[in-house]
Each structure stands twice: as C-alpha cells, then as structure tokens.
A and B are shown apart, each in its own frame.
Chain A
C-alpha cells in the first residue's frame, strides 16, 4: 500500500495563478483532510471531508476550495494564489465513523511545498 500520496511535491506560483493540489489514499478510508503547516503555527485545518460526498470548512478555509472526487481522492484548489498561501500542505485520511467513540488515527501524506511569489 502506498498510503496517502500527494502531487506535486513542490510548486512555485505567481500571485493570481491557480492550481490544484491532488491527494489520494489507498486505505479505503472514509474521511480525508487538508492542513497547512506554517512556522510557529503548527497544523491548521483548511477543509475536511467526513465521507464521500460531503465537505466542511476548517479553521482557515478562505481562498481555498475542495472536491471529494470519490472515496480515494480529495483535491484542494487555489483559485487565485496569494503570497499568504505560501506554506506546506498536508493531506490526511482516517477510517472514521459518524458515531462517537471512534478513535482511529489520521495518516498523513508527504506534503506539497508551495511558494507564491
């Protein structure tokens, strides 16, 4: 199993350009997540998808859109990139259920390092 994969690994954009970050998991997990990591800020949740067909905003959703394409894939789109979106982006997935008491950990991809000039 490859686990969680992300493409691309690195990307440089100019302000105003758009791009889509791709994420796929092969663990048949229900839930998928997008985080960004900035120095001194830890991990901040952008969007998540609790199950196929649903998406919800996280802590920092502005400037981003997401698509849960199917159970395996969850993409993050920047419509008009800004320098404030320079960051490392991580996708994660987990085998989670809607009921309470689910304690499964999240599995992370290797990250995409994005620079916006």
Chain B
C-alpha cells in the first residue's frame, strides 16, 4: 500500500523568510513523489516531481523539494517566501512498482500563510 502524510495542517511564515512544508511517504518499492499547489477557488497545479537522480528537485515559482530516502521524506522548500505563495499545498505519491495508471495518493494538504 502507498500512503503520504503531511503532519502540519497550517504553516505560517513571514515574507522574506525561508519556508518548509513537510511530507513523509510510505511505499513498498521506490517512490514517485509530487507537489501540487491550490490557490483559492482553483484546481490543483503541478509544482514539481521526484523520479530518480538528484535528491534536490527544482520546480515552478522558485520552489524546490528534497528527497530523503532514509527519512522517507520529501519536504517542499523555498528560500524566500512571498505573500503570493499563500495557498494550500498537497504532496502525492505513487509506488514505482505499481502500474503507471495507478492514481496518485494525496496527503490532506498544508495551508501556507505568508504574512507581510
């Protein structure tokens, strides 16, 4: 079975400070990991994914994520937060051992609030 956990419902950070949104996962094989962002009254937008290779993945809007196999984590980071980054963030996983059309499993989401 595959699962993903986002331990924080809410993260608050001051504008200009670094931000981290946490994600841990559980799969039988190797993970394919994804981050999505949802702005108010919008659908989910893809930010970045980890498939293999370099543990640090860079994505859209200056976001990056670090894959840590020993800690089974894939935390989302940004060096300097913007007020416009305030949104709901979802981590998702698929086990590489599963068929490619197996749906992603999503975490419950973390609401990021960047305060000016």
Contact = CB atoms under 8 A, between A and B. Distances in A.
Given A42-B106, A103-B49, A97 B42 contact: no
Given A105-B49, A108-B43, A99 B108 contact: no
A78 interface: no
Contact of B101 (A41, A42, A97, A111): A97
A21 to B, nearest CB: 14
B101 A98 contact: yes
A100 B108 contact: no
B32 A99 contact: no
A40 interface: yes
B100 A102 contact: yes
Given A90-B43, A103-B96, A108-B45, A51 B109 contact: no
A74 interface: no
B98 interface: yes
Nearest to A97: B100
Interface majority SS on B: helix, strand, loop or mixed? loop
Interface in B78-116: 90, 94, 96-104, 106-109
Interface majority SS on A: helix, strand, loop or mixed? loop
A43 B42 contact: no
B99 A99 contact: yes
A103 B101 CA distance: 9
Given A31-B103, A48-B101, A108-B36, 19 more contacts: A30-B101, A42-B108, A43-B44, A48-B103, A50-B102, A90-B43, A94-B101, A96-B102, A97-B101, A100-B99, A101-B100, A103-B49, A104-B100, A105-B34, A105-B46, A105-B49, A106-B103, A111-B42, A111-B43
Interface of A: 4, 30-31, 33, 35, 40-43, 45, 48, 50-51, 58, 90, 92, 94, 96-111
Complex A-B, nearest 10 residue pairs according to Cβ-Cβ distance, in ascending order: A102-B100, A42-B108, A96-B101, A50-B101, A108-B43, A43-B106, A108-B44, A31-B101, A97-B100, A103-B32
19 contacts: A30-B101, A40-B9, A42-B108, A43-B90, A43-B109, A50-B102, A58-B103, A94-B101, A96-B102, A97-B101, A98-B99, A98-B100, A99-B100, A101-B100, A103-B32, A103-B51, A105-B34, A108-B44, A111-B41
